[in-house]
């Protein structure tokens, strides 16, 4: 007998028939004698609609009220799923974040979980009741509802699995696992049976939208065994595991892309110590994450600083930089939202040279210009014009021998 957290994403609970299907799958696990806790997302599209409502009323909305609004999607599905389980004769009840409590910090809109009180839920699971937990939400130090950032119910599920000391956290979604790349772009992409936490982390953070990045970080830290699988198909998915558990290590495990970033160039700033701090400290103060950074030095003692931020943060980044214009001393700022970041990821890169070279050569052969580059131990990312996204992904998928 195992203890399992089952998490269902928005497409898996998109309508009442799908919620009934979820209830059947949950009950099937419980019928096998497992202790089960469920975490649900909002019905597909609902969170976007709620976010849209806030933005329409005010572009600079109060983040605490935003959380009050957008957290409701999960409240609805937790109650509906509990009802569907009860209809099958299965004891179940819904739990909101504040009831458990899922305690978070006070960063409304992108709060981090600090602790989860698991005892009550464990006790009820022992008695055969299934807790159906509203994902994505918690309660902050200000005693108000918080949300965990878009895609945050994955993190709710992993954190709950850690708090409940679950044997496994199964993340049910509309794909049956993690692929070598997006099958919508490369139809012969392969499903991976296993992937390491680190690879998954890199893939998640560079745009493979299967799992929220933070959920993978947490799984790695807490050693939660995560499985990604489909709620529509039977059969195993992809297990996210320790590196030791992966026997056949590919040099490149997967290729990801992201169109969520925008490029910002601060032109002709003085090339002197402290200039990077002058540019990036105001962005950090505005809670804006910067990703890729390139600095070009011109002969006249000035430099251009190019970097990327999330597309949603672009307007605020430009505002923060313009407010700091006196300290930075730039000539102008250019911005370009029409960019894509393409990344190749694999733990095998640690021991194999030439991965970056193959990437640059492959893109050059297709006439694709590289606007920025970043690397980590197991990843190489390039920024290219958004129109080349598909071409670049397909070419790289073949170049690294990933085609099925």
Under the rule (CB under 6 A), what is the footprint of ligand ASP? 9-10, 41-42, 47, 73, 135-136, 150-154
Question: Could you tell which of ligand ASP, Mg ion, none binds residue 47, using a CB distance below 5 to 8 A set by kind?
Answer: ligand ASP
50 or 253, CB closer to ligand ASP? Answer: 50
CB of 241 to Mg ion, least distance (A): 20
Question: Could you tell which of ligand ASP, Mg ion, none binds residue 177, using a CB distance below 5 to 8 A set by kind?
Answer: none
10 or 138, CB closer to ligand ASP? Answer: 10
Residue with tokens 């640690």: 350
CB of 85 to ligand ASP, least distance (A): 20
SS3 18: helix
Interface with Mg ion (CB under 5 A): 9, 151
CB of 7 to ligand ASP, least distance (A): 9
152 or 237, CB closer to ligand ASP? Answer: 152
Question: Could you tell which of ligand ASP, Mg ion, none binds residue 162, using a CB distance below 5 to 8 A set by kind?
Answer: none
200, two tokens: 């998954």
Asked if 370 and 349 touch (Cβ cutoff 8 Å), the reply is: no
Question: Could you tell which of ligand ASP, Mg ion, none binds residue 136, using a CB distance below 5 to 8 A set by kind?
Answer: ligand ASP
CB of 104 to ligand ASP, least distance (A): 14
Determine how β-strand 238-241 pairs with β-strand 194-196: parallel
CB of 285 to Mg ion, least distance (A): 30
Question: Could you tell which of ligand ASP, Mg ion, none binds residue 207, using a CB distance below 5 to 8 A set by kind?
Answer: none
81 or 302, CB closer to Mg ion? Answer: 81
CB of 201 to Mg ion, least distance (A): 16
SS3 264: strand
DSSP at 144: S
CB of 108 to ligand ASP, least distance (A): 15
Residue with tokens 């009950």: 27
Between CA 16 and CA 43 the distance in angstroms is: 10
Among 345, 388, 344, 383, CA closest to 365: 388
Between CA 308 and CA 337 the distance in angstroms is: 9
139 or 372, CB closer to ligand ASP? Answer: 139
CB of 8 to ligand ASP, least distance (A): 10
Question: Could you tell which of ligand ASP, Mg ion, none binds residue 150, using a CB distance below 5 to 8 A set by kind?
Answer: ligand ASP
Question: Could you tell which of Mg ion, ligand ASP, none binds residue 73, using a CB distance below 5 to 8 A set by kind?
Answer: ligand ASP
What does the H/E/C string look like for 64-126? Answer: HHHHHHHCHHHHHHHHHHHHHHHHCCCCEEEECHHHHCEEECCCCCCCCEEEECCHHHHHHHH
Residue with tokens 């049910």: 172
116 or 392, CB closer to ligand ASP? Answer: 116
Burial 233-265 (b: 16+ CB within 10 A, else e): eeeebbbbbeeeebeebbbbbbbbbbebbbbbb
Distances (CA, A) of 244 to 198, 201, 240: 12, 16, 12
157 or 340, CB closer to ligand ASP? Answer: 157
- For residue 346, the Cα-to-chain-centroid distance in whole angstroms is 18
150 or 249, CB closer to ligand ASP? Answer: 150
Distances (CA, A) of 196 to 75, 219, 223, 250: 33, 11, 11, 11
Question: Could you tell which of ligand ASP, Mg ion, none binds residue 152, using a CB distance below 5 to 8 A set by kind?
Answer: ligand ASP
């Amino acid at each position: 007998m195992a203890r399992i957290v089952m998490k269902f994403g928005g497409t898996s609970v998109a309508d009442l028939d799908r919620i009934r299907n979820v209830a059947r799958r949950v009950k099937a696990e419980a019928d096998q004698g497992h202790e089960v806790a469920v975490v649900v997302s909002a019905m597909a599209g609902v969170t976007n609609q709620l976010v849209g409502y806030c933005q329409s009323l005010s572009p600079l909305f109060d983040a605490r009220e935003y959380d009050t609004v957008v957290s409701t999607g999960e409240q609805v599905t937790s109650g509906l799923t509990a009802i569907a389980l009860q209809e099958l004769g299965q004891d179940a009840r819904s739990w909101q974040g504040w009831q458990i409590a899922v305690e978070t910090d006070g960063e409304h809109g992108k709060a981090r979980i600090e602790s989860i009180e698991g005892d009550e839920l464990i006790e009820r699971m022992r008695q055969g009741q299934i807790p159906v937990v509203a994902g994505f939400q918690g309660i902050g130090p200000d005693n108000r509802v918080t949300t965990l950032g878009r895609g945050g119910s994955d993190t709710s599920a992993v954190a709950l699995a850690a708090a409940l000391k679950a044997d496994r956290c199964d993340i049910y979604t509309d794909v049956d696992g993690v692929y070598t790349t997006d099958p919508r772009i490369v139809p012969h992409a392969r499903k991976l049976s296993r992937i390491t936490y680190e690879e998954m982390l890199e893939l998640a953070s560079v745009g493979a939208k299967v799992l929220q990045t933070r959920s993978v970080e947490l799984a790695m830290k807490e050693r939660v065994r995560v499985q990604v699988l489909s709620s529509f198909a039977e059969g195993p998915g992809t297990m996210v595991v320790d590196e030791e558990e992966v026997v056949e290590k590919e040099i490149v495990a997967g290729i990801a892309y992201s169109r969520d970033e925008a490029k910002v160039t601060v032109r002709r700033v003085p090339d002197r110590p402290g200039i990077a701090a002058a540019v990036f400290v105001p962005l950090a103060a505005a809670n804006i994450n910067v990703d890729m950074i390139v600095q070009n030095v011109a002969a006249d003692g000035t430099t251009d600083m190019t970097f990327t931020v999330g597309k949603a943060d672009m307007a605020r980044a430009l505002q923060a930089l313009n407010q700091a214009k006196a300290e930075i001393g730039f000539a102008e700022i250019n911005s370009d939202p029409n960019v894509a970041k393409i990344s190749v990821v694999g733990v095998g890169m640690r021991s194999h040279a030439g991965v970056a070279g193959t990437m640059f050569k492959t893109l050059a052969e297709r006439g694709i210009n590289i606007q920025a580059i970043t690397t980590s131990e197991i990843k190489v990312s390039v920024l290219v014009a958004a129109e080349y996204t598909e071409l670049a992904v397909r070419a790289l998928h073949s170049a690294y021998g990933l085609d099925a």
